[in-house]
């Protein structure tokens, strides 16, 4: 029950003008579009795939939790792409006003191909 309250609070803090059902509808639609675009880019542009791997390697050199926390502080809401064992994981970091609350949502797992 506490987890549901937190989700509702985070969603309300970020999108106060949307109802919860509208938010989930928009989120699911944008997830589908994002996944389709990412798959198309990875399949057609191997250089972009390599760039994603390099950027991810830079993030992984710093301890993951510290880098996530710093990015959440600086940007508030940020999307990072991390490559873990051949799988791309999309992570949304959300920082709220009441301290740093890192709420991780795995949007999609996509097979990585060069």
Q: Which residues of the chain have pLDDT under 50?
A: 1-18, 60-62, 65, 72-73, 75-114
Dihedral angle, C-alpha 98, 30, 52, 10, nearest 10 °:
10
Q: Find the angle CA(94)-CA(96)-CA(100) to the nearest 5 degrees.
A: 80
Domain extent listing, the chain:
2-111
User: What does the pLDDT read at residue 19?
Assistant: 53
Region label for 111, one of left (φ > 0), alpha (ψ between -120 and 50) or beta (otherwise) = beta
Name the pTM for this structure: 0.27
pLDDT tens digits, 34-60: 666 666 665 666 565 555 555 555 554
User: What does the pLDDT read at residue 50?
Assistant: 58
């Amino acid at each position: 029950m506490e987890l549901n309250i937190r989700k509702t609070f985070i969603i309300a803090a970020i999108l106060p003008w949307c109802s919860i059902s509208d938010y989930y509808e928009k989120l699911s639609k944008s997830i589908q579009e994002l996944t389709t675009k990412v798959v198309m880019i990875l399949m057609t542009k191997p250089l972009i795939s390599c760039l994603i791997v390099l950027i991810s390697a830079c993030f992984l050199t710093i301890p993951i939790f510290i880098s996530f926390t710093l990015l959440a502080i600086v940007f508030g809401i940020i999307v990072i792409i991390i490559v873990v064992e051949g799988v791309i994981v999309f992570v949304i970091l959300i920082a709220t006003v009441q301290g740093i609350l890192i709420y991780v949502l795995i949007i999609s797992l996509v097979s990585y191909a060069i």
